[in-house]
Amino acid sequence: MEVQEQDQDQTLDHAANLGVLGENHREFLTFFLSDQEYGVDILRVQEIRQWSPTTPLPNVPTHVCGVINIRGTIVPIVDPRICFGMATIERSPMTVVIVLRTVRNDRERYVGLVVDAVSDVYDVAIDKIKATGDLGGGAVSQYTSGMIALDKKMVVLLDIDELVQVDDEQLDDVAQQEL
Amino acid sequence: MDFDQIAAAVRESFQAEAVDLLDTMEAKLLELEQGDADEEVVHALFRAAHSIKGGSGTCGLTAVANFTHVVETLLDEMREQRLKATPELISLFLKSVDCLRGMLSAAESGVDFDAAEVAAVQQLLEAELPQAESGSPEPEQPARPRSDGNLWKVVFKPQREFLHRGNNPLLMFHELAELGSLAVLVSVEDLPAFEELTPEDLYLWWTLELTSDCAQQDIEEVFAWVEDDCELTIEQIESTAEEAAVSATAESSGPRPPAAASKPTNPKQTGSIRVSIDKVDALINMVGELVITQSMLGAFDDYSYEDFDAQTVDRIRESITQLAQNTRELQEGVMRIRMLPISVVFQRFPRLVHDLSGQLGKKFELVLEGEQTELDKTVLEQVSEPLVHLVRNSLDHGLEAPEARLAKGKPETGTLTLSAFHRSGNAVIEIRDDGAGLNTEKIRNKAIAQGLVGEKDSLSEDEIHALIFRPGFSTADQVSDVSGRGVGMDVVVRKIKALSGDVSIKSVEGKGTTVRIHLPLTMAILDGQLIRIGDRIFILPLLSIVESLQVNHSNVSVVANAAEVYRLRNEPKPIVRLHDVLGLDSSRADLSDALLVVVENGGDQVCLVVDELLAQQQVVVKSLEANYRRVEGLAGATILGDGTVALILDVPRVVAAARQGSPRFFPPANNQAELGETQTAAAS
């Protein structure tokens, strides 16, 4: 298994300036949930914020922690730990929210992901991304779009649109029961 | 501006005008059909057709212009009393309006229209002409110049700002060239020195020589669009016709459509809005007052710390109160800009009723009430389709055929009333018919057959009627083209609910049916009552609150299925424990010393248990759907002064759920991950 050499000092700003690096490369922002590192497409990252208490919503799936106010817009916060079946942890000043731009059914939605800490930005060659056929754990694999070896560790690349999908039909079903 | 941009601007402007003109024509035609054979109506029709012809010609929409020309010719005959307005002719005209709408919308989307159909209608129109050819000239085929005929000299002097309005002389010259052979001579004598030249101004004027056997009217029409922006002289130099050479300055060869400031837009156009000047003036006044208040407060800027005594503080307080008032007025003023009268939506119904009357062989009378009732533009656009469906239902299934009505002792003509009005912060639209009403038995049986209701279930008549809103439900014996497939009603309900509205139905068998739609007047701002439930703050719309009271324990009783009821002035009202509904920790087991807030929706009242009443304030409604989705039980969210998000409760839903005896109208949500708690919830 080849290991991609990466410049450790690549900063977020540098990455932002680089933009799309061409057809063979993608850039990923990685973050930690416990000891596991995950990556998301940098182009989908809107901003990174410090954790602030959310307003919980009634009657929503557990992984939706609630909503927060970002400059006048209501943005839902999702806890990927719950999606992955992990234990949740106490939130601290180090806890970070990554606000992502997701696309589903031609609609753009901004959703925040609460993570333990942000790691780094990596420039990844697309052909080095491995498929996730044998990940084993059902919970994570439905949200992943691949895996990559970086700095001698395995980083799981996430499909944002799958992870924070909002199923409108689900709502109508619920409504139907009430009628 | 380059040629293409100007041409596009002209086209856009024409399209907007044409929509209104065609609507006017349709309305006038229907008036004509009712027997209002007013001279003015025919004149109005003629003017409208004429304007469409002129405008379409300027835009290069030759097919439209040619077609409209025939319509206009017929209308001309009518207004000269040479042609009578028979029902068949009026139907033909209505068809022409449809053709024009189709052609224009095809032109707008850049697709081809159905040329065969248009040609067919055009043929029928031409067949109606009193003689083979009246005095009006034939529409020219494009690019077929005639070299015989009269010689016209046209002197065209546009005003300096001619181009500013998106006019392009070249377009007119092209059109003129289609009438015959054209020679164009430009005069540059008015051009200033280069340093003084303003590129957007037009310093040129032209002398045009046209050889054509057209009438002077045709030349005037070419410039009809710009008659106010230029000096136009048309002279006939030689004439082979009987008329002597006539020199005339530009006459009003067709009135421009009035710059109606308060004319409503077609609900289909979502891009722009027409606003009445009054609303704009009111806003300007409000901003003026805001500026005054601001300078009042600004005066304190120069004060030093020592200057702030009790008196100054009072004055600041006054200014702040004033500011709150100014801001509120400004908010309301701006909201009103997005409000349009419902006549915008109602105006399509006379035509619909007319068409369906013919199609179904029934007689209808349409009564429109409250057309000036205003609603938010977006709401209007969304409610239009459901209304059409409900009206079709009424006409198709509700109102009976003339013979059946006579047999029941009803007048032969069925009456359909569309009524709109404001009530307690909502807009209400009613669709009332005096038809057959809902057949309760039939609905019940159908529901049992579909498994929606058990045979033994006892339902009130209203509840049975409400079943028709379920998907797939239809008691229609025959599915017609018009309605009956049972796919409509639930879509209607869904669309109305998506607007935070409500639909209800009341019917008396044999007498008639009334469908009532409640819509919020404005979705963006509401007066809210902040309440505390547990450690969370929620908002109740102030308008839905009737009163609040401390629980008197003796008035609380528990009904058979464990639902709690409060006796309020001898009337039982369901009690809703909001803690349970929202999945929060119940802070009290019994209701002694609890605080009840009585809320109302549509005549039903319910008592909500809250922990504390906090402040009242105006609240800006923020959408949950923008980045998430609609949450059952919530009408939206807002941001409080401290930046946190507070949720707004959906009172109608809570009331409805409570009335159905299910105060827990959704299962208690799993507790959100709290600090220190661990959870191994399955993936969603």
**Residue among A58, A62, A172 minimizing CB distance to B631:** A58
Q: Which two tokens stand for residue B407?
A: 């047999």
Kindly state the average pLDDT of the residues B491-518: 85
For residue B485, what pLDDT is reported?
52
In contact, B234 and B216? CB cutoff 8 Å = yes
B523-537, B587-601, B659-673: least confidently modelled range: B659-673
Kindly state the average pLDDT of the residues B324-345: 85
B670 contact residues in A (CB cutoff 8 A): 62
Q: How many CB pairs under 8 A join A and B?
A: 127
**Residue among A74, A139, A178 minimizing CB distance to B645:** A74
Q: Do B647 and A72 touch (CB under 8 A)?
A: no
Touching check for B470 and chain A: CB below 8 Å?
yes
Rounded CA-CA distance B267/B269 in Å is 6
Q: Do B627 and A68 touch (CB under 8 A)?
A: no
For residue B361, what pLDDT is reported?
86
> Which helix or strand (DSSP H or E) is residue B95 part of?
helix B87-109
Rounded CA-CA distance A29/B14 in Å is 51
Measure A27 CA to nearest chain B CA, in Å: 25
Q: Each residue of B54-107: pLDDT tens digit? A: 888 888 888 888 889 888 888 888 888 877 778 888 888 888 898 898 888 888
Dihedral sign, Cα of residue B144, residue B149, residue B155, residue B156? negative
B320-329, B553-562, B659-668, B673-682: least confidently modelled range: B673-682
Touching check for B631 and chain A: CB below 8 Å?
yes
Touching check for B585 and chain A: CB below 8 Å?
no
Number of alpha carbons in the 13 Å side-chain half-sphere of residue B477: 4
Q: Do B646 and A166 touch (CB under 8 A)?
A: no
ipTM value, please give it. Answer: 0.76
Q: Do B684 and A63 touch (CB under 8 A)?
A: yes
For residue B252, what pLDDT is reported?
32
Residue B499 pLDDT grade (very low, low, confident, very high; cuts 50, 70, 90) = confident
For residue B646, what pLDDT is reported?
93
Q: Does the pLDDT of residue B147 top 60, yes or no?
A: no
**Residue among B622, B631, B646 minimizing CB distance to A59:** B631
For residue A133, what pLDDT is reported?
64
CA B587 → CA B8, B532, B552, B579, B584, distances in Å?
A: 65, 11, 18, 8, 9
In contact, B156 and B205? CB cutoff 8 Å = yes
Q: Does the pLDDT of residue B44 top 60, yes or no?
A: yes
For residue B424, what pLDDT is reported?
67
Tell how strand B374-376 and strand A45-50 pair up: unpaired
Residue B243 pLDDT grade (very low, low, confident, very high; cuts 50, 70, 90) = very low
Question: B490, B666, B672: best mutation site toward chain A, by most A Cβ within 10 Å?
Answer: B672
Rounded CA-CA distance B217/B158 in Å is 19
Q: Do A62 and B670 touch (CB under 8 A)?
A: yes
Helix, strand, or coil here: B611?
coil
Q: Which two tokens stand for residue B136?
A: 């009006």
Kindly state the average pLDDT of the residues B213-233: 82
Q: Does the pLDDT of residue B353 top 80, yes or no?
A: yes
Helix, strand, or coil here: B154?
strand
Rounded CA-CA distance B341/B372 in Å is 5
Rounded CA-CA distance A31/B621 in Å is 34
Residue of B nearest to A61 (CA): B684
For residue A68, what pLDDT is reported?
93
**Residue among A65, A74, A109 minimizing CB distance to B673:** A65
Q: Does the pLDDT of residue B261 top 50, yes or no?
A: no
Measure A171 CA to nearest chain B CA, in Å: 8
Q: Each residue of B592-635: pLDDT tens digit? A: 778 899 998 767 788 999 989 999 987 888 888 778 887 878 88
Kindly state the average pLDDT of the residues B332-349: 85
**CA R_g for chain A:** 17
Residue of A nearest to B667 (CA): A59
For residue B266, what pLDDT is reported?
36
Q: Do A88 and B536 touch (CB under 8 A)?
A: no
Q: Which two tokens stand for residue B213?
A: 């056997």
Helix, strand, or coil here: B388?
helix
Dihedral sign, Cα of residue B317, residue B318, residue B319, residue B322? positive
Rounded CA-CA distance B428/B449 in Å is 34
Mean pLDDT, chain B, as a whole number?
A: 78
Number of alpha carbons in the 13 Å side-chain half-sphere of residue A88: 26
Kindly state the average pLDDT of the residues B213-231: 82
Rounded CA-CA distance B139/A84 in Å is 73
Question: A73, A74, A101: best mutation site toward chain B, by most B Cβ within 10 Å?
Answer: A74
Measure B534 CA to nearest chain A CA, in Å: 13
**Residue among B626, B633, B667 minimizing CB distance to A74:** B626
User: How far from the centroid of its chain's Cα atoms is residue B266's Cα?
Assistant: 6
In contact, B53 and B72? CB cutoff 8 Å = yes
Residue of B nearest to A169 (CA): B629
Question: A79, A111, A178: best mutation site toward chain B, by most B Cβ within 10 Å?
Answer: A178
Q: Each residue of B395-452: pLDDT tens digit? A: 888 888 888 888 888 888 889 999 998 876 678 999 999 988 888 888 888 888 877 7
Measure A133 CA to nearest chain B CA, in Å: 19
Measure B471 CA to nearest chain A CA, in Å: 9
Q: Do B628 and A172 touch (CB under 8 A)?
A: no
Rounded CA-CA distance A65/B426 in Å is 33
Measure A129 CA to nearest chain B CA, in Å: 25
For residue A137, what pLDDT is reported?
58
For residue B614, what pLDDT is reported?
93
Rounded CA-CA distance B20/B347 in Å is 11
Rounded CA-CA distance B30/A56 in Å is 56
Measure A28 CA to nearest chain B CA, in Å: 23
**Closest by alpha carbon to B390, among B429, B436, B334, B448?**
B429
- Residue A55 is classified by DSSP as B
For residue A139, what pLDDT is reported?
62
B147-156, B413-422, B469-478: least confidently modelled range: B469-478
CA B171 → CA B167, B175, B190, B223, distances in Å?
A: 8, 6, 22, 10
B314-328, B403-417, B467-481: least confidently modelled range: B467-481
What is the residue whose two structure tokens read 């409640």?
Answer: B518
Q: Do B672 and A72 touch (CB under 8 A)?
A: no
Give every CB contact of residue B112 below 8 A, 6+ residues apart in sequence: B106
Per-residue pLDDT of chain A (179 residues; tens, 9 = 90+): 333 444 434 444 444 444 445 678 889 999 999 888 999 999 999 999 999 889 999 888 888 989 999 988 899 999 999 888 888 888 887 799 999 999 887 788 899 999 999 999 999 888 888 877 655 556 667 788 888 888 788 888 898 888 876 544 444 444 444 33
- Residue B606 is classified by DSSP as E
Rounded CA-CA distance B11/B107 in Å is 10
Q: Is the pTM higher than 0.80?
A: no
For residue A45, what pLDDT is reported?
95
Residue B119 or residue B37, greater confidence = B119
**Closest by alpha carbon to B212, among B140, B136, B133, B135?**
B140
Chain B (429-468) residues lying within 8 Å, Cβ to Cβ, of chain A = none
What is the residue whose two structure tokens read 């505390």?
Answer: B532
